[in-house]
Structure 1
Amino acid sequence: MKQLKLRAAAFLLAITFCATAGAEDITVMISGGFSAALDKLAPQYQAATGDTVHIVHGPSMGNSPEAIPNRLSAGQPADVVIMVGYALDDLNKQRKIAQGSRTELADSRIGAVVREGSAAPDISNVDNLKAVLLKAKSIAYSDSASGRYVQAELFNRLGIAAQVRDKARMIEKIPVASVVAKGDEEIGFQQVSELLPVKGAKFIGRIPESVQYVTRFAGAVVAGAPHQQQARRLLRFLASPEAQTVVRQTGLDPLPATGGIAQ
């Protein structure tokens, strides 16, 4: 652990020396999956570079004004966006991100929670997961990529779509675990990194790999952003091997090798 901390300190020192401009305020629009990692990594980055990281939260997609694509379309300023990879592809097609700046950050898998104090059901295999869902009085899932998979594919793959239709609910804008923690829903599904930070909810595990859905999170520099160099520097740090310990701690899966790193 001490060696990892020394490596991280050396990397941060290196990017500080490589900075070609003074400290700036960097605005990052980010969706939920990578938020916990950024919350932990941003203070290290700020201390080393002098840059201030302002974080604006919003889903990767959807019709709400808070959704990142809608924020950008409305003219809200940002230097960096971090979001679901295929939603970032759409922004690239619209030329809303700087060419060649996409940076792969981590993969995210779906897990489940129940209310703290409740018995933890076993969802470690497909048969158990199916039985738990059939027995549950209510089921919650997100309005982002993971929830759309749960609604459109997972229930069908388990052969229980008709049985759970009337007791399954999409949760918009807020963490799924928050409604489970209050007792409004019995079991909730979302990306693991979005479930773990919520107090009052008990994480019971990931869904089985054979029915798992992996979401790639990536970042990019916003086209025309005022702080292009600082934005690229931040993305390099978030994708670095030195940041991967924190990425893993927040429930994400670090990538075996980084690709498309912003230069």
Structure 2
Amino acid sequence: MTKPLRAAAASIFGLVFVISSITDIRAADLRVLAGGSMTGPLNELAPLFERASGHNLTIHFDSTPNLIKLATSGASFDLGVVPVDVFKNAEAKARFAPGPTTDIARVGYGVIVRAGTPKPDISTADALKKMLLDAKSITFLPASAAGAYVSSVFERLGIAEAMKAKMVPQTSTGEIAKAVAQGDAEAGVFLINVLMAPGVELAGPLPADLQNDLVFTAAIAGDTKEAEAAKAFIAYLKTPAAVAIIRAKGMEPGLE
């Protein structure tokens, strides 16, 4: 049995274990809000959960500012797997059930360059600063929690103004690596799992003194009518099989 097949089988087994512990649970249509950087793992995990549980998932992936807008607009949803920054907004947080959230995944930041080009030295803050100043163009997704952190790194390095002229902003996470692969930007700076794509190579993670993990956390909506099914999906995301897929997509599981 190949590794992907073993992972799928393990995922289904883990899900059956979770579902079997919940009695009298009917099939539900779950509407999920999710951070854009969770696209890879959730797109792989969702069909496994659906097949084993009988529930249906509709996942809306978006940036933190847009997720906050959706939550505070009164839009209907059953649970979120979102950056912790969403919960820093009091109005958005109020849309979720009270109590602790469940951390699902975390990931740090890195730099990519086009495949086949020399990898710059970014091992120290000074080396990263030099690389950014020498680059003709840099791309990332500014309107996101991760983008806000990247901008804060530029500020800490004292190059925020200089970077404005080099910026090639993107509107979705998938466009970052694509822009670098196509030569539209010399380098990309963002969450490492988002940067893993064809046509680019990871120059490395940000230096330790500039590194930070973005945490994605889950909670059910305060007004959901599908609380048990939503809790089942969150529980599945913490199973060993789901954690293995999260790791395979370049992320680490959330801390307990």
Q: TM-score range by the shorter chain?
A: 0.7 to 0.9
Instruction: From the superposition, tell whether residues 89 and 235 of structure 1 become closer, same or farther in structure 2 (CA, over 3 Å).
Output: farther
TM-score (norm 2): 0.86
Aligned to 2:146: 146
Residue 129 of structure 1: how far off its partner (Å): 1.6
2:52 to 48, 56, 60: 48
Cα distance in 1 for residues equivalent to 2:63 and 2:183 = 24
Q: Given that residues 36 and 173 in structure 2 are in contact (C-alpha distance below 8 angstroms), is that contact kept between their aligned partners in structure 1? A: no
2:16 to 10, 13, 16: 13
- Cα displacement string for residues 199-250 of structure 1 (whole angstroms, at most 9, x for unaligned residues): 3333322111211122111011112123111011101111233321111111
Cα distance in 2 for residues equivalent to 1:101 and 1:156 = 32
Specify every segment of 5 or more residues in structure 2 that has no aligned partner in the other structure, as ranges. Answer: none
Residue type of the partner of 2:181?
Answer: A
Cα distance in 1 for residues equivalent to 2:19 and 2:228 = 12
Residue type of the partner of 1:43?
Answer: P
Instruction: From the superposition, tell whether residues 113 and 172 of structure 1 become closer, same or farther in structure 2 (CA, over 3 Å).
Output: same
Aligned to 2:119: 120
Residue type of the partner of 1:150?
Answer: V
Aligned to 1:209: 208
Cα distance in 2 for residues equivalent to 1:161 and 1:89 = 25
Residue 251 of structure 1: how far off its partner (Å): 1.4
Aligned to 1:186: 186
Cα distance in 2 for residues equivalent to 1:186 and 1:148 = 20
Cα distance in 2 for residues equivalent to 1:92 and 1:241 = 33
Is 1:235 matched with 2:238? Answer: no
Q: CA RMSD of the aligned region, Å?
A: 2.5
Cα distance in 2 for residues equivalent to 1:16 and 1:46 = 11
Aligned to 2:103: 104
Cα distance in 1 for residues equivalent to 2:42 and 2:35 = 11
Specify every segment of 5 or more residues in structure 1 that has no aligned partner in the other structure, as ranges. Answer: 62-66, 259-263
Cα distance in 1 for residues equivalent to 2:93 and 2:61 = 21
Stretch moving more, 138-147 or 124-133: 124-133
Instruction: From the superposition, tell whether residues 72 and 255 of structure 1 become closer, same or farther in structure 2 (CA, over 3 Å).
Output: closer
Q: Given that residues 7 and 245 in structure 2 are in contact (C-alpha distance below 8 angstroms), is that contact kept between their aligned partners in structure 1? A: no
The runs of at least 4 consecutive aligned structure 1 residues that moved more than 6 Å come to 1-6
Cα distance in 2 for residues equivalent to 1:218 and 1:75 = 20
Instruction: From the superposition, tell whether residues 97 and 85 of structure 1 become closer, same or farther in structure 2 (CA, over 3 Å).
Output: same
Within 5 Å, give how 1:82-93 maps onto structure 2. Answer: 82-90=81-89
TM-score (norm 1): 0.84
Cα distance in 1 for residues equivalent to 2:93 and 2:252 = 29
Q: What secondary structure, in the 3-state scheme, does the structure 1 residue paired with 2:77 have?
A: coil
